[in-house]
């Protein structure tokens, strides 16, 4: 190409671009003065004229502009019909190049004359497209083939057109900054030249054919197997490609497809499956699925034939997982996973509007619509964009001029450009054929397989399933073996277990993955949603206020929280709230059923509490305050200390505002010294994602069918079953994760739970902090766990462990009993940071770091469980003391206290044995996993197993399903 030709092409392209831009801008002004009845006609004429102009220039210029026209011709879901009707001619019906040029190229490339290669060569091309044209021929061995011949000089034209396109995109970005397509054109400039070498296309064709199993003819039961055809490569050079001939009809030839009786819906669904396989399973996919690159075999069962693999894209394993995670997060409405996938793929946003991000993702993977709904689709997309930009304007405080120039994307990874193009082309393909394709249903199995290969295989296939931390005792060694068994049985997805004995850490194990679609390993400082486990944290804070003289258990709540006293709640006292006898057990039930997201609004929920009417007289009946407890205690704490917010999220330091028993920056913490700083941009990145053990939930539902179960209990179990299946979706939303829901969405590590209860069991003496947060950062998998050999143990009977001097003068406690324990520590150089006898004076309360204990009351344990002098403040025979669930041995002795949450997460301590344990898991079940863990640990330590867990393990051993889930 001479400079004269280059200059003329540039002038023509820019002239048309400016002309069309100004034409539509002027039309927007004119329609304001046009009758509404004639506006549609006005726009249709403009579309028709501009589409003809575009088509004429594309045919004249050829090259890259044909590619653009092909892409536009498939977007029947968003473009006016005039463009689709005219531009579809570009798919394979361009004017052919002279036959002499074609023959010359073949002879030059193959180094042989046409007669030496072909027995017969059809002079009329089957199709002519942007880069090459295709002729049917017969080789000398009588094999029928097609010959793809590159246009002469097309390489120079394509490269020049890329420069022109880049200039146009730069101009658009300047004129309309919100439409900055530079990342897309940059990726196109990198990938498009690869189409100009047919040797690359030949290898791509072979690779995709192998990946899809097109030549294997296997009839296995793989649900992700696809049924498509790809021609075999016979020969290739840079500019000539010879392929096996396959007899088929064009995908856009509706008459022929109808005559053959082809099911178009099934056909396009299979094409979509083929691309889902290429993207998510193979990580190597064809980037040009326009109708001209498909045929349909004439022979039954009329399978799709995939053609033209010049433009392909390879994805790294991490990018493939990120794309799969993005798709599944969009399908399930999981804001956290969606934002996490963006981080993993390198997509950075300039502002935090997760709701908008989810909306855009849903639009991207939306079900395709027929062409006749294009106008409606475009209007809906435009309305949503305007709404989103208005939200951006309000959040960023921009004026109208500024918001038009604001681009919310800070970094756009090139890898997803071609991916986006493919998804849009597939949608356009189905719209052109007037079909509705539900991409979520078709592509989900392929996307799931990408993550499940890393997540759901469990420890049997994943040597990194147990996180590589030192084994601290023989008990921990045996526990890890149990967790591996449970993991292989698919009962555990991700789990943490941490336990203290006599003030020292004896178990600190993390295993599994952070979520069903999040293959990152669970680390000791990962956070888990633990539900009602948080009640023990809230209760501990109330007791701290009492211990410091800021509150009395006999105080009326209305004296602390004036708005609370309305609607018959004036007799409710603090101890009624703590022991679940306030009568407000269902205070938030109806509200959350009508609008579950209301739970994410702290102030509104407190307001709802003040309006509620008690169902029973205070102190009369103990009914578990499953949801209202957190807001009741939280409202008291907030008013008493004049805090703006009580943040009940557990696992980090105070600076995070969502952290390891943690509260706002200005408040004293129940658990100072727990420094597990956030490793990534936000707390959400460390949170495990909930899922449910559907087998357990199914068993729970079956209980209601038993004739011997009382109707009231049937209803309770049925409600619990419905809650267990619905809760993960709700609490995986970013709304719930970021909200203050003190009785439901506390975020906690097992380390923090165990250390908190270790402090409570020693009357508030804080154990030393754990070692620094797990390294390497979340998301890497370099560790290989090594199990230390188990140490031979001998059980000692009746041994009495000495307590700290701080805990020996507690003669007023009615709970102290001697108990023998036994375990063997595994020597390890890495254990000194978590088991050292650091001076407890470094871990005080609030700003007074010299204070050794949280509590000065020597009978604080009696206060927790409502025993001794506090017995009159609790209901006789009740399950709950003052804020804590009482734990009894199998012979009926009161041995400790704690709290379990729906799904199995648990915090518990045994007072006599100076033992505490925290268990967190993200695969919610009825409690069987927790019971197995507790049974093993208590047995090995020779301490009594709490009756709740004992009954559960009995059920598990007998394979019965007549016990209610573990929730308290």
- Residue 176 CA to residue 162 CA, distance in Å, equals 20
What's phi and psi for 498, nearest 5 deg?
A: -135, 135
Q: Omega before 301 cis (within 30°)? A: yes
Which residues fall within 8 angstroms of residue 512, CB to CB, at 6 or more apart? 458, 465, 487, 492, 493, 494, 495, 521, 522, 922
Q: Pick from 300, 604, 337: which is nearest to 451 by CA?
A: 337
Token match 């069918």: residue? 705
Q: Pick from 907, 897, 965, 902: which is nearest to 933 by CA?
A: 907
Q: What angle do CA 888, 892, 897 make, to 5 degrees?
A: 15
Which element (helix H / strand E) includes 724?
helix 711-731
- Residue 32 CA to residue 894 CA, distance in Å, equals 80
* DSSP letters for 803-824: PPHHHH--TT-S----------
Distance, first Cα to last Cα, the chain: 79
- Residue 435 CA to residue 271 CA, distance in Å, equals 13
- Residue 795 CA to residue 688 CA, distance in Å, equals 37
Task: Verify whether residue 288 is a known catalytic residue.
Answer: yes
Q: Which residues of 699-738 are buried (b: 16+ CB within 10 A; e: fewer)?
A: bbbebeeeeeeeeeeeeebeebbebbbebbbbbbbbbbbb
- Residue 409 CA to residue 961 CA, distance in Å, equals 52
Q: Which residues of 132-141 are buried (b: 16+ CB within 10 A; e: fewer)?
A: bbbbebebee
Which residues fall within 8 angstroms of residue 710, CB to CB, at 6 or more apart? none
- Residue 589 CA to residue 612 CA, distance in Å, equals 11
Which residues fall within 8 angstroms of residue 705, CB to CB, at 6 or more apart? none
Largest distance between two CA atoms of the chain = 109
Alpha-carbon distances, residue 868 vs 103, 813, 860, 873 (angstroms): 103, 7, 10, 10
- How many Cβ atoms are within 10 Å of 916's Cβ, its own excluded? 28
Tokens of 15: 């002239």
- Contact between 963 and 951 under an 8 Å Cβ cutoff? The reply is yes
Q: Pick from 788, 772, 800, 798: which is nearest to 824 by CA?
A: 788
Which element (helix H / strand E) includes 720?
helix 711-731
Q: Omega before 776 cis (within 30°)? A: yes
- Contact between 500 and 506 under an 8 Å Cβ cutoff? The reply is yes
Q: Which of 77, 161, 288, 762 does the annotation list as catalytic?
A: 288
- Residue 531 CA to residue 743 CA, distance in Å, equals 6
- Residue 212 CA to residue 229 CA, distance in Å, equals 9
- Residue 88 CA to residue 104 CA, distance in Å, equals 30
Active-site residue set = 288
């Amino acid at each position: 190409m001479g400079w004269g030709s280059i200059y003329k092409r540039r002038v023509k392209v820019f002239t048309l671009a400016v002309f069309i831009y100004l034409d539509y801008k002027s039309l927007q002004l004119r329609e304001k003065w046009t009758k509404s009845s004639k506006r549609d006609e006005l726009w249709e004429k403009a579309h028709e004229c501009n589409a003809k102009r575009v088509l004429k220039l594309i045919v004249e210029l050829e090259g890259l502009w044909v590619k653009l026209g092909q892409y536009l011709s498939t977007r029947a879901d968003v473009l006016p019909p005039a463009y689709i009707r005219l531009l579809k001619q570009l798919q394979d019906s361009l004017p052919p190049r002279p036959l002499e040029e074609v023959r010359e190229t073949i002879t030059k490339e193959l180094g042989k004359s046409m007669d030496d290669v072909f027995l017969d060569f059809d002079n009329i091309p089957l199709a002519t497209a942007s880069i090459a044209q295709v002729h049917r021929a017969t080789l000398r061995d009588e094999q029928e083939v097609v010959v793809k011949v590159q246009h002469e000089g097309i390489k120079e034209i394509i490269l020049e057109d890329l420069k022109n396109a880049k200039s146009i995109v730069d101009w658009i970005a300047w004129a309309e900054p919100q439409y900055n397509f530079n990342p897309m054109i940059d990726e196109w400039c990198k990938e498009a030249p690869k189409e100009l070498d047919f040797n690359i296309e030949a290898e791509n064709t072979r690779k995709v054919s192998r990946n899809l199993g097109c030549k294997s003819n296997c009839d296995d039961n793989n649900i992700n197997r696809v049924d498509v055809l790809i021609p075999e490569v016979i020969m290739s050079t840079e500019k000539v490609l010879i392929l096996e001939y396959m007899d088929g009809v064009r995908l856009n030839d509706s008459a022929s497809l109808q005559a053959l009786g082809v099911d178009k819906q099934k056909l396009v669904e299979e094409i979509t499956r083929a691309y889902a396989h290429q993207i998510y399973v193979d990580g190597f996919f064809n980037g040009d699925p326009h109708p001209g690159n498909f045929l349909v075999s004439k022979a039954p069962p009329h399978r799709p034939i995939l053609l033209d693999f010049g433009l392909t894209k390879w994805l790294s394993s991490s990018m493939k997982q990120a794309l799969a995670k993005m798709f599944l997060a969009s399908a399930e409405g999981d804001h956290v996973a969606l934002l996490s996938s963006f981080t993993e793929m390198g997509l950075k946003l300039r502002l935090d509007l997760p709701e908008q991000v989810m909306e855009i993702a849903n639009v991207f993977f939306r079900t395709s619509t027929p062409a006749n709904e294009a106008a409606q689709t475009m209007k809906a997309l435009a309305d949503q964009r305007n709404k989103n930009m208005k939200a951006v304007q309000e959040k960023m405080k921009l004026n109208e001029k500024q918001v038009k120039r604001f681009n919310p994307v800070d970094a756009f990874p090139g890898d997803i450009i071609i991916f986006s193009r493919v998804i849009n082309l597939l949608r356009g393909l189905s719209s052109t054929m007037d079909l509705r394709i539900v991409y979520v249903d078709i592509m989900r199995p392929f996307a799931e397989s990408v993550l499940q290969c890393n997540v759901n295989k469990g420890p049997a296939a994943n040597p990194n399933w147990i996180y590589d931390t030192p084994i601290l005792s023989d008990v921990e060694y045996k526990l890890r073996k149990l967790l591996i068994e449970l993991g292989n049985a698919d009962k555990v997805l991700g789990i943490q277990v941490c336990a203290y004995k006599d003030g020292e850490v004896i178990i600190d194990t993390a295993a599994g993955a952070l979520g069903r679609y999040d293959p990152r390993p669970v680390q000791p400082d990962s956070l888990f949603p633990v539900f009602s486990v948080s009640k023990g944290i809230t209760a501990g804070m109330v007791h701290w206020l009492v211990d410091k003289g800021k509150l009395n258990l006999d105080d009326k709540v209305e004296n602390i929280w004036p708005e609370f006293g309305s609607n018959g709640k004036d007799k409710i006292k603090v101890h009624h709230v703590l022991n679940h006898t306030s009568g407000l057990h269902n205070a938030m039930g109806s509200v959350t059923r009508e609008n579950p997201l209301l739970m994410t609004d702290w102030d509104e929920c407190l307001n709802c509490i003040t309006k509620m009417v008690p169902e029973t007289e205070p102190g009369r009946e103990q009914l578990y305050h499953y949801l209202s407890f957190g807001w009741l205690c939280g409202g008291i704490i907030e008013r008493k200390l004049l805090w703006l917010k009580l943040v009940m999220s557990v696992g980090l330091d105070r600076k995070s505002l969502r952290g390891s028993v943690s509260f706002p920056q200005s408040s004293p913490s129940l658990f100072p010294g727990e420094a597990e700083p956030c490793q990534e941009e936000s707390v959400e990145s460390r949170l495990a994602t909930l899922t449910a053990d559907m087998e357990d939930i199914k068993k729970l539902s079956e209980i209601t069918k038993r004739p011997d179960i009382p109707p009231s209990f049937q209803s309770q179990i049925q409600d619990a079953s419905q809650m267990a299946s619905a809760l993960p979706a709700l609490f995986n939303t970013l709304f719930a994760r970021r909200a203050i829901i003190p009785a439901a969405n506390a975020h906690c590590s097992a380390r923090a739970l165990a250390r908190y209860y270790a402090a409570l069991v020693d009357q508030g003496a804080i154990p030393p902090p754990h070692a620094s947060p797990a390294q390497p950062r979340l998301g890497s998998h370099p560790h290989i766990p090594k199990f230390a050999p188990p140490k031979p143990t001998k059980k000692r009977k009746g041994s009495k462990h000495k307590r700290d001097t701080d805990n020996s003068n507690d003669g007023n406690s009615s709970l102290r009993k001697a108990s023998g324990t036994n375990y063997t520590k595994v020597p390890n150089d890495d254990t000194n940071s978590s088991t050292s006898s650091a001076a407890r004076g470094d871990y005080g309360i609030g700003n007074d770091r010299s204070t050794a204990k949280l509590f000065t009351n020597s009978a604080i344990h009696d206060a927790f469980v409502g025993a001794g002098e506090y017995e009159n403040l609790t209901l006789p025979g009740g399950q709950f003391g003052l804020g804590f669930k009482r734990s009894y041995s199998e012979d009926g002795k009161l041995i400790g206290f704690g709290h379990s949450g729906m799904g199995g997460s648990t915090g518990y301590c045994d007072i006599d044995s100076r033992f505490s344990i925290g268990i967190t898991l993200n695969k919610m079940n009825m409690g069987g996993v927790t019971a197995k863990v507790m049974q093993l640990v208590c047995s090995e330590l020779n301490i009594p197993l709490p009756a709740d867990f004992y009954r559960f393990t009995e059920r598990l051993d007998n394979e019965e399903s007549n016990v209610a889930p573990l929730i308290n």
